[in-house]
Amino acid sequence: MSDADRPPLLIVEDDPVALRQLRWTFDAYAVSTAADRASALGELRKSPFPVVLLDLGLPPDAEGASEGLAALGEILSLSPQSKVIVVTGREEREHALRAVELGACDFYQKPVDADEIRFLVKRAGQLHALEDENRRLARDARREPLPGVVCISESMRGICRLVERAAPSDISVLIVGETGTGKEVLCRALHALSRRSAGPLVAINCAAIPAELLESELFGHERGAFTGAERRVRGRLELADGGTLFLDEIGDMPVAVQAKLLRFLQDRVIQRVGGREDIALDTRVVSATHRGVPVAGGAGPLREDLYYRISELLIEVPPLRERPDDAVVLAQHFFEQFRSGEQRPLQGLAPDAIAAVAAHSWPGNVRELENRIKRAIVTAEGSRITARDLELSAADAGPPDLKSAVRDAERRAVARAWAEADGNVSRASKLLGVSRPTLYKLLREHGFRE
């Protein structure tokens, strides 16, 4: 079995003999080990662990439990989703109970029995998987497959799955998409789902900062580095240490700064402007651009070597006009969100508004939709928001001939049910209120299936 197939397990144990025994016991796991609090936290910063086995008697308090309990607190605040099982000596039941009070999921008293402790770790792993699945389902039910990301289209759901898979690792991500498509929203979700979520998320927009200031904004500067540099200032990369830096509009980065960024991505160290000292940083870089894939054999604005470094994962966010189903659920989402501030009882979106939302071409993408809904809530005169309140013309509301309008609506309904049921035929047919054979026929007619 390769390491990738084994469940990860972190064992924190200072006694080498006990550690060797635990390694044997858990040979079916990808075991990482740590002998003290600092290295345990270091391991957790590197990658996530569903289960941690923690010896409470850690140095410098190997006979007591103070260091072990402190480690427990820090492990849980860094990685609240991890299940921690504490291991104590024979006589230390009250320490074990204190640990459970602090959030340990279970405890085990030495001497270690291999079968018993394997059972506890396996059960903790299952509990972790179950909680993970529950969190996912809860988000799905809200049509929010990732925190803050509302969507139902197949294309966006695929992107959400990618983000979810990439989040726990440190691979660098480049997000490409037109203005307002949700690039920053995806970056926030990526950060929130990563082991860095307790750390900072710092954003910098390369297009908004004058080229000559960008270097010192990113890397910081020492006192006296240039005229006016009266004190040492830390840059955004340094402020994002332990977290994520969102580098927006990376296509606008001057070439000299690109070289310096490349060096950071290769060696993970920076020098402040005017400084000589190498400063090691643990910052994950997520970049974005609205200009399409920014490199074309070196002719684009980005150095090719930098491009490959920042785009270990490339995410292309489709414009809203290519996902009209998302436009409709987003309109409803923003309506609910902004209505709450209103005194008047607004009931929802009128059918002509929904049709117009699905048909409009949304050059400003989700941001435009958000703004139109916000404005319409304030200006609407009736009890429902109409296409006119959204300042979308009736012509936007789709073709006037009934047959193709019905067909269009049918296609959208089928697409939505199909996506919502995650491709499950009986669930999708229930959602639509049709029989399974009818659903098969619809899926074929609209080209969703062979």
Ligand X SMILES: Nc1ncnc2c1ncn2[C@@H]1O[C@H](COP(=O)(O)OP(=O)(O)OP(=O)(O)O)[C@@H](O)[C@H]1O
| Cα(78)–Cα(72) distance, integer angstroms | 10
Assess 179 for contact with ligand X (CB under 6 A): yes
Tell me which of 153, 181, 197, 244 binds ligand X, using CB under 6 A.
181
User: What's the closest the beta carbon of residue 245 comes to Mg ion, in angstroms?
Assistant: 14
**CB closer to ligand X, 184 vs 389:** 184
Assess 176 for contact with ligand X (CB under 6 A): no
CB half-sphere exposure, 145, CA atoms < 13 A: 21
Minimal CA–CA distance to 183: which of 286, 89, 263, 260? Answer: 286
User: What's the closest the beta carbon of residue 218 comes to ligand X, in angstroms?
Assistant: 18
Q: How many residues make contact with Mg ion (CB under 5 A)?
A: 1
Stretch that binds ligand X, among 14-22, 67-75, 146-154, 305-313 (CB under 6 A): 146-154
**CB closer to ligand X, 79 vs 197:** 197
Q: How many residues make contact with ligand X (CB under 6 A)?
A: 16
Scan residues 271-330 and list those touching ligand X (CB under 6 A). Answer: 290, 330
User: What's the closest the beta carbon of residue 151 comes to ligand X, in angstroms?
Assistant: 5
Calculate the alpha carbon distances from 148 to 143, 198, 235, 315 in Å.
Answer: 10, 17, 28, 17
Tell me which of 9, 56, 151, 428 binds ligand X, using CB under 6 A.
151
Q: Using CA of residue 189, residue 257, residue 300, residue 310, what is the dihedral sign?
A: negative
Residue nearest to ligand X (CB): 182
Both structure tokens of 379: 């200006």
Minimal CA–CA distance to 353: which of 394, 314, 383? Answer: 394
Tell me which of 8, 48, 145, 180 binds ligand X, using CB under 6 A.
180
Binding mask 132-171 for Mg ion (x = CB under 5 A): ----------------------------------------
**CB closer to Mg ion, 72 vs 176:** 176
Assess 177 for contact with ligand X (CB under 6 A): yes
Tell me which of 150, 206, 250, 315 binds ligand X, using CB under 6 A.
150
User: What's the closest the beta carbon of residue 178 comes to ligand X, in angstroms?
Assistant: 7
**CB closer to ligand X, 44 vs 150:** 150
212-216 contacts, C-beta under 8 A, 24 or more apart: 214/253, 214/254, 214/257, 215/254, 215/256, 215/257, 215/260, 215/273, 216/272, 216/273
Assess 185 for contact with ligand X (CB under 6 A): yes
Assess 92 for contact with Mg ion (CB under 5 A): no
Assess 374 for contact with ligand X (CB under 6 A): no
User: Of these partners, ligand X, Mg ion, none, which one is at the site of residue 352 (CB under 5 to 8 Å by kind)?
Assistant: none
| Cα(71)–Cα(102) distance, integer angstroms | 11
User: What's the closest the beta carbon of residue 248 comes to Mg ion, in angstroms?
Assistant: 5
Assess 184 for contact with Mg ion (CB under 5 A): yes
Residue nearest to Mg ion (CB): 184
**CB closer to Mg ion, 184 vs 215:** 184
**CB closer to ligand X, 151 vs 439:** 151
Residue 83 parent element (H or E) = strand 83-88
**CB closer to ligand X, 50 vs 145:** 145
| Cα(112)–Cα(393) distance, integer angstroms | 73
Tell me which of 152, 206, 366, 377 binds ligand X, using CB under 6 A.
366
Query: In what order do the strands lie in the sheet containing 313-316?
Result: 201-205, 244-248, 284-289, 173-176, 313-316
3-state SS class at 76? helix
| Cα(85)–Cα(296) distance, integer angstroms | 52
User: What's the closest the beta carbon of residue 188 comes to ligand X, in angstroms?
Assistant: 8
Q: Is the peptide bond before 60 cis (omega within 30 degrees of 0)?
A: yes
417 near 436, Cβ under 8 Å?
no
Minimal CA–CA distance to 10: which of 64, 83, 62? Answer: 83
Contacts of 239 (CB under 8 A, 6+ apart): 200, 202
Minimal CA–CA distance to 311: which of 174, 163, 167? Answer: 174
Assess 128 for contact with ligand X (CB under 6 A): no
| Cα(317)–Cα(26) distance, integer angstroms | 42
**List of residues contacting ligand X (CB under 6 A):** 149-151, 177, 179-185, 290, 330, 366-367, 370
**List of residues contacting Mg ion (CB under 5 A):** 184
